[in-house]
Amino acid sequence: MKKVYLLVMICIAFISCSKDDTAENIQLTNKKIETFDFLTNEKMEEKIDEISLIKEKMEETLAKKYTNKNFRSNNTENLVLNELNKYHKERLNNIYTLRKNLNFISIQSIADEINSLKLLNPTMAEGLLKKHEKYLLQDKFGTTTVFENRIANVVNEKGEVAINGKIADLNISDSKKTTGRYVYDEGVKTDRATRSEDMYFVILYSTGREKHKDTFGKVFFRYFTEFQAYYTDPVAGTILCPTTFTMSNNSIAGFSQSGSNPFADFAFTVPYPSGTGSIIRNTSGQIWTAYQTEGGYIKGTFTGAGYTLNCDFKYTK
């Protein structure tokens, strides 16, 4: 864990000292890793956790810069778009810096790159989407991979990751709800939490489970809650927007058994996350029993793009 935090700090320090230059992708140093090859599924998940933590800390540091300083009073469209341009330029630099530090280009980093380029350089974004269309999906909110977003961080541009020298069968699907053999989201519920009166600023919530397999092929789960924040531009469309999410302690998502396991709790809850970023997720620990999403309660404040929105509601299954 100390190694991971050290790498996080090195990445953040590198970014803070680098020039704002998004015209060129930062070139990888040393020998590029073409395909990650892990001894076991556990080793793969450790690497996924490491990369996910680095990305989370980089995003948090960047998003705080804009939610705290620039967006609070700049609520006219031109000023907001100007700040969003700055945010996505720095976000793009974060993506390129992480590639350089890992010596690896993942399919997830391609999706992340497209989601910032759609505002900064739509032509380049469209070109990348076409080039990698086999492994990318697009909707009105942005670009995702055909893999669950966590495992996509170790899958290369050819859709490959290896376990003990063999290319893993990821069972690619067109559905984002069944997207991989080893790690993927399923049973996901997504809906709108709130939006501004002018409909420019919108918050989505999601809840569901991540499906995993250990080295012996036994399935286990992690359950999650998530928020996503977007700003709508008439030209560029829907863009990820840095936001501060402040939730009450009783904001929770419920889960109940989808089968019948007398040795496990019938139901449990996962809190909704507080924090800063454009997408934030809270994930439970390892759970061996399959549960399905139920109702929940969300109460909190969302600050971004010059808006402060509140919500207080219950939802059902």
CA 126 to CA 241: how far, in whole Å?
Answer: 20
Q: Please tell me whether residue 125 adopts helix, strand or coil conformation.
A: helix
CA 287 to CA 303: how far, in whole Å?
Answer: 33
Rounded to two decimals, the pTM is 0.84
Predicted pLDDT of residue 22:
42
User: Which H, E and C letters describe 32-53, residue by residue?
Assistant: CCCCCEECCHHHHHHHHHHHHH
- Answer positive or negative: Cα dihedral of 38, 100, 50, 63: negative
| Residue that the structure tokens 């419920």 belong to | 254
Q: pLDDT grade, residue 177 (50/70/90)?
A: very low
What residue spans define the domains of the chain? Answer: 2-315
Interval 149-167 mean pLDDT: 93
CA 245 to CA 278: how far, in whole Å?
Answer: 9
Q: Counting Cβ atoms within 10 Å, is residue 219 exposed (0-12), middle (13-18) or buried (19+)?
A: exposed
Predicted pLDDT of residue 11:
52
- Check: CB of residue 41 under 8 Å from CB of residue 214: yes
| Residue that the structure tokens 């945010």 belong to | 87
